[in-house]
Chain A
Amino acid sequence: MWQHLYDELKNKGFMVVAVAEESRGAEHARPWIEQARGSGSSSYWQLIDTEHRLEDLYNLVNVPQAIWIDEQGMIARPPETAGSTDHFRRMNLETKTMAPEDQAARLAARQAYLDAVRAWVMTGEHALPPASARAGLPRVTPEIAEARARFRLGVWLRTHGRAEEGDRQMAQASRLHPDSWSLWRQAADLDEVGKASGPEFWKRVQELGDRPYYPPPKL
């Protein structure tokens, strides 16, 4: 997804770190990674995060989310939706297609996000002053902290043949951290590939009502 951006900006002191929140591991993620690499000569980091450690450290709730980090290792922009939009919610579920105007709007939003990243790399634009960066960080609550531990245990149990118990822990994790799409979608995917995009997913998305699935970045 980021290969073009990386190819364009890699000589300007820019690096992409793409992290797969993928409890099924490297071999499961590999086809998408190979496809993303295409014919790029050098590549950015493609990391495999089976334990969702990044979501734990940075308090993430969905994919794709991105954090912008400056040359001193400081957070220039806190976690935000990385170029995706809610247009998919209007998709025709039978034909799996989007209206042309939605496709265009989706593409434009993604392009605007990539343009913003480019502007940041070239000029430093869009980097937030510390107070604003801090204000954009959602707080980790004791419930979220417990959800993380239960999810970690649940993934281990699931991947070591204790499916029922693992699912139970992951379900409790989701109840404790209902804002996280990753927790229950990963649990669903561990049960059955494809389940995370199945009828239950669409039901949960509908239940959002007016609330966004992908809150847009404040650029």
Chain B
Amino acid sequence: MTKILTPIAEYDVPAQDGLWLDASDAQKVTGWTLKPEGMCRDERCVPMPSSAVSDGKVDVAAFWQKLGGPVIASDGRDVWALGAPADERNAALEGLQAPDFTLPDVDGTPRTLSQLRGKKVFLATWASW
């Protein structure tokens, strides 16, 4: 099994030759669905070269790079990190809507920023280091 780390989750999926995944696993990991038009999400489709799609499988590394996102593999190519494209982060912030997130509190309860709509929120980072 290959471990894939995305900005919000991690997955263990079977992969071949790098990051070739079954279309259903590709959809689970990336949120994009393989269609005849290419990889699609909502109203948008990204055409895929024939070298990146074969027999119901998708070269997710090639797809992610086409989106403009970094793809980093471990030495043994058993753990991969797919990073958000810079454009996506900038567009989200420039819209000025505070990017939503869910993180566990110190007791393990998941907390989501958008649950606090209606209040003024002071969002501050800290660290023991």
Contact = CB atoms under 8 A, between A and B. Distances in A.
Contact of B103 (A5, A24, A48, A71): A48
Interface residues of A, number: 81
Given A69-B98, A146-B70, A21 B105 contact: no
B101 A2 contact: no
Contacts of B96: 74-75, 130, 133-134
A178 B123 CA distance: 24
A163 interface: no
B121 to A, nearest CB: 4
B124 A69 contact: no
A23 to B, nearest CB: 9
A71 B120 contact: yes
Interface residues of B, number: 54
Contact of A117 (B71, B122, B125): B122
A142 interface: yes
Interface in A35-93: 45-49, 53-60, 63-76, 78, 82
A14 interface: yes
Interface in A110-139: 117, 120-121, 130, 133-134, 137, 139
Given A49-B103, A73-B114, A140-B90, A152 B5 contact: yes
Interface of A: 1-2, 5, 13-22, 24, 26, 28-30, 32-33, 45-49, 53-60, 63-76, 78, 82, 117, 120-121, 130, 133-134, 137, 139-142, 144-146, 148-150, 152-153, 156-157, 162, 165, 169, 182, 185-186, 188-189, 193, 196-197
Given A21-B125, A149-B69, 12 more contacts: A16-B122, A19-B103, A22-B127, A22-B128, A26-B104, A32-B126, A53-B7, A56-B7, A58-B99, A59-B89, A65-B125, A74-B96
29 contacts: A13-B119, A13-B120, A14-B122, A16-B121, A16-B124, A17-B111, A17-B116, A26-B104, A28-B128, A29-B106, A47-B104, A53-B7, A57-B99, A59-B93, A66-B123, A68-B123, A71-B119, A73-B97, A73-B113, A134-B94, A146-B72, A156-B10, A156-B81, A162-B74, A165-B75, A182-B127, A185-B127, A189-B127, A189-B128
